[in-house]
Each structure stands twice: as structure tokens, then as C-alpha cells.
A and B are shown apart, each in its own frame.
Chain A
Amino acid sequence: MQKDKVVLITGGTGDIGTAVAKQLDPLYGHVIALDVVADNKGELWQAELNEQGFSSILFRHMDVANFSQCETIINSILHEFGRVDVLINNAGITRDAVFNKMTKQQWDEVLRVNLDGMFNVTRQVVESMRTQMWGRIVNVSSVNAQKGQFSQANYAAAKAGIYGFTKSLAQELMSKNITVNSISPGYVNTRLMKGIRPDILKTIIDLIPAKRLAEPEEIAWAIEFLISEKSSYMTGANLSYNGGLHMY
């Protein structure tokens, strides 16, 4: 029964994460946002959403870049709730720089969170999904992984790495009724975008056939589709969601 199922979303308190959590709340028993936020911001985030009527949403503090922390936190979730059915690897950061100036630290930070983090978290849930003989894993990549992006050699590398991981894992898990797909959003109206200069933002939007940014809710809807019970034949696939910015 879908209503018993447990969903994990990494980077769950971000703009896309929050939209996904709200979208899935009415459909699933527990929607657990995993994130790294200061002080008790995560608890406040949860309280606010619970107050608005999103009663399935929970917050747990977890740093995807830390393998043993992922082990501990996810094991405790498995202990508390007995299962994990859906994993959405959504945690991601940028550290943009032109390559000839990019520091090792800028490279490492992005790879650690965006690529290694996906390994660290997914590794903790495959065992129980295999035992259950049911699972949905969605990895959030990016249009910039498909087309490349100036000043994002690190981000594009990490996000493109997601495709290799997704396809390999999909082959390993299909016999256990677990699908593994990626979604590649184009430019989404989030905090990440708000940092961009208005004139640069305008040139970006001009390149997008849809002539606008996506809303986080649109990405959330696509993810709901990917993890649905009815989507069991779709695996190892990438869902491009970019307003026509890049077609392949």
C-alpha cells in the first residue's frame, strides 16, 4: 500500500526538495527530508510544513558527503520505520569557476556532495529495497550535465557521472522490481538561480524555447511520475525537463 511507504529526499529542505516533499506528502506514509542545515532550521522547516497540513513530512539532519553518517542515520530510519521504498538523490551544490582558475577544493567539494554523496546514500538503501522486492531511486542530474556549461567543469562532471551510475545500478536492480532513473532539470526558479545577475539571467532565459524558468513544482510532478507504482517499466532512463533548452 502506497500509504505505508517511506520516501527519503536528500537536499530535502531546498527549493526543489521542499516542492517534492509537499507533492508526495498526501501519497506516502512518511516523507523524510535529509539535509545539512544550521542550528534547528531543519526542525523549524518541518514544523512549518506540518502546521500547513503536510503531516507526513519529517526532517533528519544528514551530510551526504559523510559515508558513516549516512550509514548511521539511514540505519536508524530503517529501525524506526521498518522500510525505505523511495530514494530521491537531490542533494547538490555548485562551486562555479573557470577551469584554469578552479581550485582543488572547488572540484572536491562539488564531486563529494553531488557524486560521492549519491553513492554514500544509495549504498545504504539497496539491501532493504532488494529484500522488499520493490523500490524507486531517482537521481537528480542537470541539463548542464548533458550540454556542458562554462564555469561548471566540476558540476557538469558530477552531474554527468550520475548517468553512468544510474544505468549501471538500473541493470543490477531490475530483477528486484527496483527502478533507477535520472531527471535532468533545466533552469529552475530556485535560490540557486536568484544569485545570478539579472542581465545574465535574461540571456539564459532568451536561450530557452519556453522563455521562462521551470517552477520547482513542475520538477516535483515529474518525480512523482517516475516513482509511481505505474512507472515500473521505466528504468535506466533520463527524463530531460528543460523547456527545450537542450534536446538529444
Chain B
Amino acid sequence: MDKMIAVVTGGTGGIGSAISQRLASEYQVVACYFKDGNHEEAKRWQAEQREAGYEIDIVYADISNFADCEKMASLVTERYGKVDVLVNNAGITNDTSLKKMTPQQWQQVIDANLTSVFNVTRNILPVMLEKNYGRIITISSINGRKGQFGQCNYSSSKAALFGFTKSLALEVANKGITVNTISPGYIETPMLAAVKEDVLKSIIANIPVGRLGKPKEVANLVAFLALAESGFITGANFDINGGQYM
């Protein structure tokens, strides 16, 4: 199979599904899934994708666990021989003001959003280095850029991705591998379902374009950065937030 391989963590989520679908035409997409090991839900998602015309492979891994990621990377390498594109997209929130935040709430978000990026990237990078080619795209957040009340944990984890991305970019730049971040603003996904109606209204009031972003729009940006032609773009962050933060 000469098709390029793209691994997408959180590949079945709100933005993840859009990314998986957008890449599926040019790449063999491997969606990485965990969600407390509910394989049935993953299989249902895969069937839905198939019905819509997208053949997407699934691997299972708790990405906050290093050993799991080791296994996952071995499996993918065994199955496909290479990984051309890695999209670190998985992420969660657990919002609360710092004065109430428990160490568990802190650690859970750091592990799911930041440690996971180390775990996955560290295990997938070797195969990219072997082939002297790779595209590593990590999804940060507008709140990693501007901070957010109630998100000391989330904001820290997302801001950390900028330091990580720039450092790794420097290390692998001459190996044909680019490393970038995308910082989406408020996007229409299940993650926003937790936000109260009146709060959402006031958020939209602060978005110059006057609406939430669409998962497809983030997916398009991912596809652009993943192109072979985008090889001069590295260590960069791309805001996509309707003008909400500049």
C-alpha cells in the first residue's frame, strides 16, 4: 500500500472525526481511541464512517499510559510499515477555579493533554526518523494562548504544547519532519456541550466573526499542514479562532 498513513489521537471525537474524515481521501487514517476501553462505541463509530464512505482503521490505547503507546506504535508500524502524519488531537477539560482544584483534577488534565503528547510522539517519532519524513500536528487551544478563568489545568497543558513543539521542531527540522500546533478557538463540538447557554452566548459575543467554528474548518487546516508541500512550515502556531485572540 503506497498510501500515506495518518494517526489521529482522539480520532473519533468532535474535532477528531472531522480530521479523520478530511484526511481519509488522501491517507489511510488510523484513529486512536480509548474512552475507558469501550470498544463497542468505537466499532459503532467506525461503522458510521464506513457508511458515509470513509474507511478508517482503529487502534486502542490509553494515551496517558506510556506502555500502551509503545504497544500502539508497534502495532501501527507492524501493520503499515510507516507513519507519515501524527495528529495529537486528544484532549479533555475538567474546569474549576484554582482555589477549589484538587490535585486529581490537575493531574488528570495534564496527563490526558500533555503527558499523552509525550507518550504518543515519543513512540511514533522513531519510524518517522527512519523514513526522513513526517508531519506532527498538535492541537492546542485559544485558551492555551490567552488563559481562561476556571482552566488553570487545561490552559497549562495547552500552553506547554507550544514549548514542546518548538523544541522538537528544532531537533527534527533537518530530518524532513515538521512540528506545528493549531490553536482552535471555540468550535461546535461535544466539549462545548458542558458550557451553559448564557455563557456560550457571551463567548460568541466576543468572537469577531460572530459564530462558533466548525470542526471541518480545523480539519482543513490540519490537512494543509500535513501536505508534503508544507515542508517549510515548522515550529509555528496557527490560531483559528474567528478573531477572538490575536
Contact = CB atoms under 8 A, between A and B. Distances in A.
A149 B170 contact: yes
A111 interface: yes
A152 B170 CA distance: 10
Nearest to A108: B115
B110 interface: yes
A153 B167 CA distance: 5
Interface stretch (A49-57, A81-89, A121-129, A201-209): A121-129
Interface residues of B, number: 48
B4 to A, nearest CB: 21
Interface SS of chain B: helix, strand, loop or mixed?
helix
A148 B168 CA distance: 8
Given A100-B125, A111-B114, A148-B170, A168 B148 contact: yes
A162 B152 CA distance: 9
B156 interface: yes
B86 to A, nearest CB: 13
B106 interface: yes
B167 A111 contact: no
B166 A148 contact: yes
B64 to A, nearest CB: 12
A120 interface: yes
Contact of A168 (B149, B167, B169, B171): B149
A107 B103 contact: no
A115 interface: yes
A148 B148 contact: no
Contacts, number: 156
Interface string A98-127: 111010100110010001100110110011
Interface SS of chain A: helix, strand, loop or mixed?
helix
Contacts of A147: 166
B164 A236 contact: no
Residue among B115, B154, B159 with the highest chain A CB neighbour number at 10 A: B159
A163 interface: yes
A156 B107 contact: no
Interface stretch (A6-14, A24-32, A169-177, A226-234): A169-177
B98 A169 contact: yes
Interface in B117-173: 118-119, 121-122, 125-126, 129, 143-144, 146-172
Contacts of A159: 163
A130 interface: yes
B99 interface: yes
Given A111-B114, A126-B99, A167 B164 contact: no
A129 B106 CA distance: 20
Residue among B118, B152, B157 with the highest chain A CB neighbour number at 10 A: B152
A45 interface: no
Given A100-B126, A145-B163, A167-B147, A119 B171 contact: no
Given A116-B106, A122-B98, A168-B147, A163 B159 contact: yes
A161 B171 contact: no
B163 A158 contact: yes
A161 B118 contact: no
Contacts of A116: 106-107, 110
A153 B179 CA distance: 12
A223 to B, nearest CB: 21
A151 interface: yes
A164 interface: yes
Nearest to B160: A161
Contacts of B156: 115, 119, 161-162, 164-165, 168
B34 interface: no
A127 B171 CA distance: 42
A123 B153 CA distance: 12
B66 interface: yes
Nearest to A167: B147
- Top 8 A-B pairs, shortest CB-CB distance: A167-B147, A148-B166, A160-B163, A164-B159, A161-B160, A156-B163, A164-B155, A157-B164
Given A160-B159, A161-B114, A164-B147, 7 more contacts: A100-B126, A111-B115, A119-B153, A148-B170, A163-B162, A169-B98, A236-B147
27 contacts: A99-B167, A100-B171, A107-B115, A107-B122, A108-B115, A111-B114, A119-B156, A126-B99, A145-B163, A148-B166, A150-B167, A151-B171, A157-B161, A157-B167, A158-B163, A159-B163, A160-B160, A161-B159, A162-B156, A162-B159, A163-B147, A164-B154, A164-B158, A165-B155, A168-B149, A168-B155, A171-B147
